[in-house]
Each structure stands twice: as structure tokens, then as C-alpha cells.
A and B are shown apart, each in its own frame.
Chain A
Amino acid sequence: MIKNFFKTLIIFASIIFLSKSVLSENLTVATPHDPSVDPHWLYLGPNAAYSRYIFERLIDRDENANIVARLAESWENLDDLTWKFNLRKGVKFHDGSDFTADDVIFSIDRIPNIPNNPASYESNVSMIESVEATDSHTLVVKTKNPYPLLLRRLSGVAIVSKSNVEGSTTEDFASGKVAIGTGPYKFKSYTPGDNYQITVNNNYWGVKPDFNDVTFKIMPDGASRVAALLAGDVDILEGLSPSSVPAVESKDGFKVAKRASARTLWLYVDTQNDNSPFVTDNDGNAMSVNPLKDKRVRKALSLAIDRDAIVSKVMDGLAEEANQVVPKGFFSYSENIPENEFNINKAKELMAEAGYADGFGLTVHAPNDRYVNDDKIAQAIAQMLSKIGLKMQVETMPKAVYFGRLNKQEFSLSMIGWDNAFTGSSLMSLSAAFHTKEEGYGSWNAGGYSNTAFDAEVEKASAAFDMQEYEGHLKRAMEILIAEDQGAIPLHSQFVTVGTTDKVDYTPRADEAFEVMLVKKAN
């Protein structure tokens, strides 16, 4: 009797085992992020990454941040202000309709016109003066100013189907009704907070991906994702925390794909408001002056942060110190900016010199589900700053709340991690996050930094077609921002880590975006 029972058990076990070991066409991904199925809604890295499956751009960036042609086959500069794009012919949307120049014009028009968008893609199209279709597959784009980075900007403009999307709302995307693009995958289903499923587009014009059906299991908790991978519930896991890397690497049948990313974390400092919202005196009362406007105080903050400890202890070595807002060795990295110094005594002296020997109260804000160990870094920073006499508090919140408040300048000292792969240089971070707020600039300037010399360099850089000149202006701007003004406090550049079973291979992207098309069946 018992023998029989065991026999049946073994048979069942082997059936289950066999069915799992058959190389399947399906891929299951554990991810911390919910998608915004609407590719023009809430401009955050994970959303832009998700949109790459269903939708395509005219031009995209590959895993090494190089420009690749997608819906545009070729392009040329007619003059400094005019660009001509020849669109790919014979491309069809998922519903069978033809892709034409009208869809591109519609998509570019739609981006700035979505109401209540907490983080808009507008900065990617705001330099465009006009778009005209000379025929169904030729576009002429005119920019307001000479804009050499237009191609990279267009890699942030997903093309939606005009006939479907016209008159629809963001909710219609999430329900799948108008989630119709030209990409390698089609929308299948989306249950918010639980899972998102896509299925292969058999009529895709380009290279077919390795997997037919992909399910994203949305698991915000890092430990659960690791457990799901090790238990065999998922094939690949996005957002592997550095502390879990050894747990995955040491297990047979699992591996970790790593790569230094182009994302640099820094702290915005409120250099604009006279009454900064989260600066108080030592008793918690509002202050009539904002100590953060004093350059010496900002220098002291930077001196008090032990980045080496953050890298080794919080990031488990999977990060690299940053002394400016691009990673070391990146295009437009300035060698003239001195290495970070960790010196508490010097920081205290500077605080005393500025008249704050007894410190003041300050809250550091950070998201808790966006960057690698973001909330832990914020706590470590608070700890370090409290050593120079500041009364520190930490407040962390989900990204959906955080970035909305950040863009309303509601914080005094706040964390952000900027992906520099988008422009392949520091231009986007400098122009969006530090240039004085005005038409086309400063849309992410949450610290209110403003310096006319800096602005001039950024403007020159964004108009420069000559690469050497372009890089020179960017370097100079970075020197003004960091070495002279300490308008931001650089922290570190993080690594991308993705855990997989050994049945699949994955090549991480420099911009950290997860991409199913880069998941290959292992041989």
C-alpha cells in the first residue's frame, strides 16, 4: 500500500519535473513595477521600458545606448533646423491597419496634451516647431532652435495608432482597448498590482523575439522576487537587490547578469526658496532663512557623506562613487572636478563659518521603490549628516507619490537617479534638472538651481552639432554646477543586476531598462 503510494508520488513528481524542463516558449518575469500601458503617461524609466514591447519609436537606443533605426528607415539633416525622416514601409499595427506619417504626427501632438500627467514626456517633443508629412511615409520635422539631440529625444516618443487612440483616454490603454502599436508584442491582459501579459506579434516586421508569451508578475517586495526565482516560479527577475546577489549566484541553476549602468544618483538641494519646506531650526520651527542657499552649507553636506561606506555597505560593492552627475569615464565626464572628500571636521568648520555650528533640522526625501536600495541610502545619508550636527529626518514614499511631489518642489533635500544613457551625455540631466525653469528647460529642476553662466553653457551645448564643442560646453557646465556651486550632491552610479535561471541568457541595458527582447534561450 505504502509502496504503491510512493510509486504514484514518484510518477507524479517526474511528470511535473519533465513538463518543467521542456524548453517552453513562455517567459515569466518577476518585476517590481506596474506598467503604465499608455506609453505617453507618467514618464518614468520602468514605464518607458514597458512601452517598448507594444509600441515602437522612429529611432530607438540599443542596449549600449547607440541609436538604431526602428520605424524610421533613414533620416537626414536638411539644415540646422530641419530634419527629414523616411519611414519604414509595410509596417502594420496590431489591428492590421497601416503605419503612416499621420500616426507619428498624432503621437507627437498627443504627448503634451494629456491632462493631469504627473510626469510628462513633453520634454522630448518641446523643441519641435512643426511636423509635416510630405507623403504617407516621409516626414519633415522643424525644430525651434538647432537641436542636434533630436534623434535621441525621438527615442522617447512612442508611436501610437491614430485611428484607435484618437479620443481615447489613458484608462483605455490599461484596459487594452487601444493598446495597439507596431511592436514585437501585443497586449494580452493587465491586472493592476498583480500581472501584465503580452503575446508575440506574428506580423512583426523586425527580428522575432525568443519567447511567445511573456507574463510579468508584479512583486514589489524584493525578497519575494528572489524567493520566486529560486522556487522556479519565474525565469528572470528584474531589480535584484545587491544583498541578494550572492544568494542567487551561489545556487546551482541560477546566475546574475551585471553591468555598470549609466544612472547616477544625486541629491537635489533647495537653492531657491527662502523658506525651504523641510528646513527647520533645532526645535522644529520654520526658519526665516534657508541655510541651503549658502554654498558653504552645501559643501559641508557633501563633505559629510561617506560615499565609500554607501558603496561598500549599502550597495554591497555593486555601485561606483560619483563626483558629478554622470558616471566616471562617461562621455562629457569632466576630469577637472576633484574627487569626493569625506571629511567631517572640514564639514563642521564650514557649517560654523556659515553660522550653523549647532546645525539645523533637515528632512531627506527619497522614493522607496525606484532605485537600488533607495530608502536605505536615504537613511544612511541622514545618519552621516547628523554627525555634523544636523537634526535629520528621513521620509520615503512610493515612486507614484514621490515624483509628483518632487516636481512641485515640495522637498528640501531629495534623491533622484538620472539615466544618462538617454542622451549618452550629461546634457539631459543638466538641461532638465539644473537649467533655470523656462521654455524647453528645467522641467525637472526640483532644487530650483539657477546660474546664468551655467545656463549659457547648457544652451550652447544643446545647439552644438560639433561633438568636441558639445562635450566641452557640457564639461564646463558640470564644473560650474558641482565644483563651483555644489548645486547638487552626487552620490554614486549604480549597477544593473538581473537574476535568471540558467535556461535563459540576458544582456542588461546601459539605461537599466528591462527588455524582454534581450532575453534569449540559453544553449
Chain B
Amino acid sequence: MKFNIINFLKIYSEDKLALFFFINLIIILGLVIFGPLITLQNPYDLSQLNILDSLLPPLSQAYENNYFLLGTDDQGRDLLSAIIYGLRISLYVGSLSVIISLIVGIILGVVSAYFGGFVDNFIMRVADMVLAMPSFLIALVLLSILGRGLENVVFALVMSQWATFARVIRSSALSEKEKDYFYSARCLCLPQSRIIFGHLLPNCLPPIIVLSTINLAFAITLEASLSFLGVGLPITEPSIGLIISNGYEYIIVGKYWMSLYPGLFLLITVVSINIFSDRLRILLNPRLNI
């Protein structure tokens, strides 16, 4: 059966729950991409904020006919705008770090599977070392050394994630290496690069797609946790984790909205990505044959 997007969507939507979260995911992506066009303010532009608007509950009037739908935070930021911008950063940081770890992982994984021997041993032992440490700890240590900032967060996430990719790609490449088409390709004396990138890699991809989506959700939570602890992004440009952390001390006095809503948005995003990837895992698994 030739791959066909309509067909794929049809099969995908057989699971109604997965469909629901898929639509959710698309709405979130829409919000994230078109966010700046629809938000009340740019929450990162200090001159648009007013401290006198701080700590307003949801549905407070901002100016004219505009409302702070979800209230404001302790600096007078419109919470909805801050959440949308925060999600932008979270998703941006998450996808960027996954893409970079993917590239690094693919190169290292395929190289070590293809060449084997010392190269394989060396790369995999380094990967083992990384995997042996909790990824949160790696990221935390790196950020404490490097300091805050977007590039640093991405770097820290990549450092804690590349090993997973390298491992998975290596093992699927190893099993592909034993297959007949691979032997044929070698017997034909095709150039190494063509064997690796034209034959080996495409056949390793299905698990990678699933792993990337799972890792995207993981990267987003990791970034949120780091920001919550105050080592992630600068405080004037809060990502979701930092918004939650800012609001957290107000929960005790009943000002719940500053933590609740960003938390919900984060939850929905991560759950949607996870369910999407779970469905992909089922569809892309040849053994589950649907």
C-alpha cells in the first residue's frame, strides 16, 4: 500500500480519543503560530505592561472592550498572552532541541552501527554515560554553569537527549544491517554514503518518528521544570514553567489563576503530543498490522 495522507488520517481517526487530541494539538499549534496576531499584548515588551494591572482575576476589564480573559500575573501581564507566548517558547525550545538531538543521534547511531568495532564501542559507552545520569540533572548542571538563556537551554536539552536517539537508531540500524537488501546493496559495491543514507537510514525511520514526538513532550516538560526552578529563560520572557513558578506563591492566598491556567495549557499540550505519538507508534508498527 502506498503511503497516502488521506488514507493515513482515515486510519488515524478510527481512534476517537486520538482524533480529539490531534485536533487539540492542531489548535495549540495554530495558537502558537498565529499567537502574536491575536493576543492582547506582547507580554515580553516591558513598555506594554503596567504594574497597576497586576494580580487581576480572570475576566477583568483591561481597556475599552478588552478583557484579561485569564487574569494577570504579578507584573500586570495578560495571562492568556503570556501563556501563548510561553507556549511558543516552550514548543520552539522543545522542537529545536529534538531536531538537533535527532541529527546528532542519527549521525552517531548510524556511524556506530555501520562501522562497529572501536567506533561503536566508544560512541555507545559515551551514550551509556549520558543515559546513566538523570537527564534533568545533566540539564540542571549545565545550566548552572552556562547561565540563563535560550541557546543554553537548547544546548542543555540536546546534551541530555542525544544519547536516547543514538541508542535507538543504532539498534534499529543493526537489525536492518542483517537484512537481504543491505547485503545486496553491499554486493553491488554502492558507495558507503549511498548505502547509509539511501538504504539504511530510511528503513530506520519509523521508530525515530515515534521517539521524536515522545521526546518533544519530554523536552517541553523538562524545559518547564528548569524554568520553574529559575535556571531556564530570563524572567522578563517567561516560558510556561516560569509563569507557573511566579504564580505558585499566590496560590496560598487564593490567587489560583496564575498557576492553574498555564499549568492546564502545559498539561493539555503534553498530553496531546503524547497521545499523538502513541497513536503513531501503533500505526507505524508493522507487527500490529492494522
Contacts and interface: CB of A to CB of B under 8 A. Distances in A.
A394 B50 contact: no
Interface string A229-246: 010000000000101101
B151 to A, nearest CB: 15
A396 interface: yes
Interface in A274-308: 306
Contacts of B250: 243
B253 A243 contact: yes
Interface in B15-57: 45-47, 49-52, 54-55
Given A223-B249, A247-B253, A380 B51 contact: yes
Contact of A223 (B230, B236, B248): B248
Contact of B230 (A368, A383, A393): A368
Given A310-B51, A313-B51, A383-B46, A227 B252 contact: yes
Interface in A358-401: 368, 375-376, 379-380, 382-384, 386-387, 392-396
A317 interface: no
B74 interface: yes
Interface in A212-228: 221-223, 226-227
Contacts of B252: 223, 226-227, 230, 244, 247
A241 B252 CA distance: 12
B249 A383 contact: no
A472 B252 CA distance: 48
B225 to A, nearest CB: 15
B251 interface: yes
Going nearest first, the 9 A-B pairs with the smallest beta carbon separation are A223-B249, A386-B46, A386-B47, A247-B253, A383-B46, A380-B51, A247-B252, A309-B51, A383-B49
B51 A383 contact: yes
Interface of A: 221-223, 226-227, 230, 241, 243-244, 246-247, 306, 309-310, 313-314, 368, 375-376, 379-380, 382-384, 386-387, 392-396
Given A368-B230, A392-B46, A384 B253 contact: no
A313 B46 contact: no
B259 to A, nearest CB: 10
Interface of B: 45-47, 49-52, 54-55, 74-76, 230, 234-236, 248-254
Given A223-B252, A243-B250, A379-B75, 9 more contacts: A243-B253, A244-B252, A244-B253, A309-B51, A313-B51, A382-B236, A383-B46, A383-B76, A392-B46
B249 to A, nearest CB: 4
B51 A384 contact: yes
A379 B246 CA distance: 12
B34 to A, nearest CB: 26
B228 to A, nearest CB: 11
Contact of B74 (A309, A376, A387): A376
A198 B234 CA distance: 38
B249 A379 contact: no
B60 to A, nearest CB: 14
Contacts, number: 66
Contacts of A386: 45-47
A383 B43 CA distance: 11
A221 B246 CA distance: 11
B249 A244 contact: yes
Contact of B51 (A222, A306, A394): A306
16 contacts: A221-B249, A223-B251, A227-B252, A243-B250, A243-B253, A247-B253, A313-B52, A313-B55, A313-B76, A314-B74, A379-B235, A382-B46, A383-B75, A383-B76, A386-B46, A394-B234
A465 B49 CA distance: 51
Contacts of B49: 383
A368 B236 CA distance: 14
Nearest to A388: B47
A387 B47 contact: yes
A382 B234 CA distance: 13
B24 to A, nearest CB: 31
The residue among B49, B55, B253 with the most chain A CB atoms within 10 A of its own CB is: B253
Contacts of A313: 51-52, 54-55, 76
A395 B234 contact: yes
Nearest to B75: A379
The residue among A246, A375, A379, A382 with the most chain B CB atoms within 10 A of its own CB is: A379
A382 B48 CA distance: 11
A50 B166 CA distance: 51
A376 B238 CA distance: 13
B196 to A, nearest CB: 43
Contacts of A395: 234
Contacts of A221: 249
A394 B236 contact: yes
A376 B47 CA distance: 16
A227 B74 CA distance: 20
Given A247-B252, A247-B253, A386-B46, A379 B52 contact: no
A233 B49 CA distance: 39
Contacts of A227: 252
Nearest to A395: B234
Contacts of B251: 223
A376 B249 contact: no
A26 to B, nearest CB: 25
A221 to B, nearest CB: 8
A383 B47 contact: yes
A230 B252 CA distance: 10
Nearest to A393: B236
Contacts of A379: 46, 75, 235-236
Contact of A383 (B50, B55, B248, B254): B50
Contacts of A368: 230
Contacts of B50: 383
Contact of A376 (B45, B75, B230, B254): B75
Given A379-B235, A387-B47, A246 B253 contact: yes
A140 to B, nearest CB: 50
Contacts of A223: 248-249, 251-252
B243 to A, nearest CB: 13
A522 to B, nearest CB: 24
